[in-house]
Copies of this chain bind each other. A is one copy, B any other.
């Protein structure tokens, strides 16, 4: 009977291709993953998490193992609301929606805001996970470049003016990573934040402000969030994935109560796991996450420095790169023409992985010379070895391309 089935037509929004970022060639067990945008595993607060989880199960489990009823979610939302003041965000726990990682909040924002055919404007390059989500929202995507001060807000403004003049569609949503950009490593300047917020209000679109890395600030300065300038037209996203552990999958959105209500409706009457929120709530009560973040900052600053020193040593004359003041990533650009989508395979052979530039662009014609290296996941020694392997892979790649054996 199965053979006689008529083919079934799935919805248009189902992506046709594999998700971007999915192809990370790793074929050696000793491979050094400069591709992983993950925190370093030995930074996790194991002992405190174990205590927090035991408390959540043994003492509080009658409520925290249920659908609802435990106090963890309220503790978490209160901490988030208070901590957000550091970024100039004035909010209340009621305007915080906890989600399964901020990726789910991006998904909910798309669903609350976009009809098929609506316009979404993104940075170029940008995070492939968000691109995956926008692509399945059936939106029309346009990209705007970033420079050393982040998104070229002047070009956004020109495009908005041109759209009004020519009757083209205005965006409903603009996706921006203001701090320690993934993959660009840069941060949006304060002046541009303010101007972007004004544009969102004037042209009536939402800024989706993905601020996953802002706690990992290697400097002393805290720039205000874009949200601070346009609280009615910004959906601000944060996460515990970089400061506690990604496996808990706890992120959040902050927006106006009306907007948060619309985002939350996509839980369909349910909510994010009470259990994992209870663990984090217990952790926040029994432990100084602020002090832990200070340690992480010192750690990641050193790892960044190690990666940069290795780049200088092994690839110094061959590449340009940003010096990120926080976050996880260095964005590399080869001076000579190269296809990093091919180089990634040579690198895999030599025992190092990275993410090739094309994964971060709307158009497959962009990013061939670029690569994202993460300094977050690997120890300092491994970062040095990884870059040495990458340099070796690059030499072999160049030599094979030119038909000459490497020296």
Say whether A378 faces chain B, with CB atoms less than 8 Å apart: no
CA distance in complex: A70, B41 (Å) = 12
B111, B268, B276: the one within 8 Å of A275 (CB): B276
Instruction: Tell me if A266 and B233 are in contact (CB < 8 A).
Output: no
Q: Quick one: given A136-B266, A269-B20, are A58 and B62 in contact (CB under 8 Å)?
A: no
CB <8 Å contact, B273 and A249:
yes
Q: Are B57 and A49 in contact (CB under 8 A)?
A: yes
Query: Beta-carbon contacts of A266-283 to B below 8 Å, as 1s and 0s?
Result: 101110111110100000
User: What CA separation (Å) do A16 and B8 show in the bound complex?
Assistant: 31
Select one of B8, B39, B275 contacting A206, CB under 8 A: B8
B49 and A62 within 8 A (CB): no
How many residues of A are counted as interface, with CB atoms below 8 angstroms from the partner's CB atoms?
76
Q: Are A50 and B58 in contact (CB under 8 A)?
A: yes
Q: Which of A61-116 contact B (CB under 8 A)?
A: 61-67, 70, 100-101, 103, 106-107, 111-115
Asked if residues B38 and A66 are in contact (CB atoms below 8 Å), the reply is yes
Closest chain B residue, CB of each to CB of A64: B247
> Which residue from B15, B61, B101, B233 sits with its C-beta under 8 Å from A46?
B61
Per-residue interface assignment for chain A, residues 133 to 172, with 1 indicating a CB less than 8 Å from any chain B CB and 0 otherwise: 1001000000000000000000000000000000000000
Q: Enumerate chain B residues within 8 angstroms of A2, measured Cβ to Cβ.
A: 201, 231-232
CB of B58 within 8 A of CB of A270, answer no
By the criterion CB–CB under 8 Å, are A66 and B46 in contact?
Answer: no
Residues of B contacting A268 with CB < 8 Å? 19, 103, 106-107, 129, 132-133, 136
State in angstroms the CA–CA spacing of A21 and B248 once bound together: 28
Tell yes or no: A191 within 8 A of B by CB: no
Q: How far does the Cβ of A57 sit from chain B's closest Cβ, in whole Å? A: 5
The answer to whether A38 and B67 touch (CB under 8 A), given A19-B265, A21-B269, is yes
Q: Which residues of B contact A128 (CB under 8 A)?
A: 269
A136: chain B residues within 8 A (beta carbon): 265-266, 268
Assess the A46–B58 pair: CB atoms within 8 A: yes
For A128, the closest partner residue in chain B by CB is B269
Assess the B265–A14 pair: CB atoms within 8 A: yes
A113→B272 CA distance, assembly (Å):
24
Among A2, A65, A206, A278, find the residue whose CB has the most chain B CB atoms closer than 10 A: A65
Q: How many copies does the complex hold?
A: 2
Residue pair A113, B19 in contact (C-beta under 8 Å):
no
How far, in whole Å, are A204 and B10 apart by their CA atoms in the complex? 12
Does any Cβ of B come within 8 Å of A5's Cβ? yes
Q: Give Cα A2–Cα B128 distance, bound, in whole angstroms.
A: 33
A67 and B246 form a contact (CB under 8 A) = yes
Q: Which residues of B contact A54 (CB under 8 A)?
A: 50, 53-54
B-side contacts of A10, CB under 8 Å: 112-113, 262
- Would A62 and B50 count as touching, CB distance under 8 A? no
Interface digits, A217-255 against B, CB 8 Å rule (1 contact, 0 not)? Answer: 000000000000001110000000100011111000000
A156 to chain B, nearest CB (A): 18
Give which listed residue, B5, B14, B204, contacts A112 with CB less than 8 A: B14
Kindly state whether residue A317 has any CB partner on chain B within 8 Å.
no
Q: Is A44 an interface residue (CB 8 A)?
A: yes
What are 12 sample pairs from A and B whose C-beta atoms fall under 8 A apart? A5-B204, A8-B233, A10-B112, A44-B62, A49-B61, A50-B53, A53-B54, A65-B248, A67-B241, A70-B247, A249-B272, A273-B273
